A and B are shown apart, each in its own frame.
Chain A
């Protein structure tokens, strides 16, 4: 029972808003030690699992390319491009992106898009530009944050509920690996992937609907912001 104190450490650290890196480190060492490992075993466990999880940090190789392109105006050009596309509102654009992200992830292409590869350089600036075009004015800071947050959400929801339809993805392999070795079963990844399809459809319907509703929200809040200040909003964004 005493090992559950490790979970308590995580919750306490989380609730008191300590530095998350520190919370995770302390909880790991603490749980290992009260779970009966000696200090060297704890170190070895830290080392082994850190080595095994290196793939989650790989996106850092995209940073130099994106950095270079941004320096040469990638975000500015993305905004211009969407400004020319007439019909696409922020919500419609993000719904299309959600669908693209889900479908590509369902074919196993999870590393194709992502916050560093696509959202920051392309999706968020395009979503912002679409919002500014339909409003005919620059977005106030709060709404800009909102549009960016929804851009990130379209990416995350898309990849989460797309990838499980693919048989060779981490979560599916984790399920079969765990169950087959622990309970001596013979589960096939395809059986699991099939059950991910209805949830993926639900995810698209729920999040897609919310993205489409975002347009109305933006409209309402833009009108409100304009009325509150009783001033015309700035004509062009300098961002």
Chain B
């Protein structure tokens, strides 16, 4: 059975290999600290297997979580105090690219389409075959798709040196920099908030402010609360336990007898409207901006806010009219 952990090891390996290249790249003024950052990030992936095994108690080898926590703090220091640099990208000229596009024609799409195609096959046809760890088929499919696509890509382009894709990928990695790390760190922040009891505190606060028996105000408070808290945290998953413990469950479901699936599902989606509007949701907003080489890193957010606000109204209205 193919386990999702193998994919994590592959990701770790890619980071470590790129870190080795960075250490040797004299065009990068911060090559040692950059290499340290990506190398250390790479090592957290296999080490994380041991930590995850210990948390889930699902057997296998276990490792203590504290050293990984220390490594994460080291990553934060390296990225937070600007120790990450970029080398001069190793790439082709515009003329070379035009020439090879003419030569290859639409065959160049084959490897790019291989990734989603393999992911589909893994998630649909092969999901029930017992080949993959339960519930992880698409994620594993993405990994397999990338490996297959790399092979197909080398064949189609006629590239022989495996260092070439690694170099090209590294340039993209250097362009993204620490934005790549932010989503994982936000997940960490969310769970620390939960452990420290931020949710129950917000609940007490809301309970004191909200007038009794006002259904529409309570719905508004839950939806807008999910929205605002998500904007701050960058992640609806982090906001959901906080706002649900505060208003969603005690007020909307228990006091006002709302339909739990309607309240909770729509509440989560109100949070997603917030994700569209915030730079804190780096993986959805800042990462695409850097990947697309935008000068204005808030470009995607500006394109999304006029959609997010009407949708928040839709969510609030749906909950107010159909959940009770």
Chain A contacts to B: CB under 8 angstroms: 1, 3-4, 6-7, 10-11, 14, 19-22, 24-25, 27-29, 31-32, 34-37, 40, 42-78, 80-81, 104, 107-113, 115-122, 124, 141, 145-146, 148-153, 155-157, 160-161, 164, 168, 170-172, 174-175, 178-179, 182-183, 185, 187, 191-196, 198-199, 202-203, 206-207, 210, 238-239
Contact = CB atoms under 8 A, between A and B. Distances in A.
Contact of B138 (A78, A109, A172): A109
Given A21-B185, A35-B195, A150-B303, 9 more contacts: A21-B79, A47-B71, A54-B44, A61-B14, A112-B120, A115-B292, A153-B300, A179-B244, A239-B94
B58 interface: no
The 8 A-B residue pairs with the shortest CB-CB distance, nearest first, are: A67-B168, A35-B196, A73-B101, A22-B80, A47-B68, A43-B69, A47-B65, A51-B48
B128 interface: no
A31 B4 CA distance: 31
Contact of A152 (B51, B99, B182, B300): B300
B308 to A, nearest CB: 8
Contacts of B260: 179, 185, 187
B288 A115 contact: yes
Nearest to B75: A21
Residues of B contacting A: mostly? helix
B224 interface: no
Given A11-B232, A187-B261, A50 B80 contact: no
Interface stretch (B24-32, B213-221, B267-275): B267-275
B112 A21 contact: no
Interface residues of B, number: 147
Contact of A196 (B94, B269, B299): B269
Contacts of B320: none
A25 B164 contact: no
B249 A183 contact: yes
Given A51-B51, A161-B272, A199 B311 contact: yes
29 contacts: A11-B232, A19-B178, A22-B81, A29-B73, A46-B72, A51-B51, A57-B11, A57-B184, A61-B143, A65-B149, A67-B168, A68-B153, A69-B112, A69-B157, A70-B91, A73-B92, A74-B101, A111-B139, A117-B116, A118-B116, A149-B299, A152-B288, A155-B288, A187-B260, A187-B264, A194-B261, A195-B261, A199-B314, A210-B307
Contact of B294 (A57, A122, A149, A199): A149
A56 B236 CA distance: 14
B22 interface: no
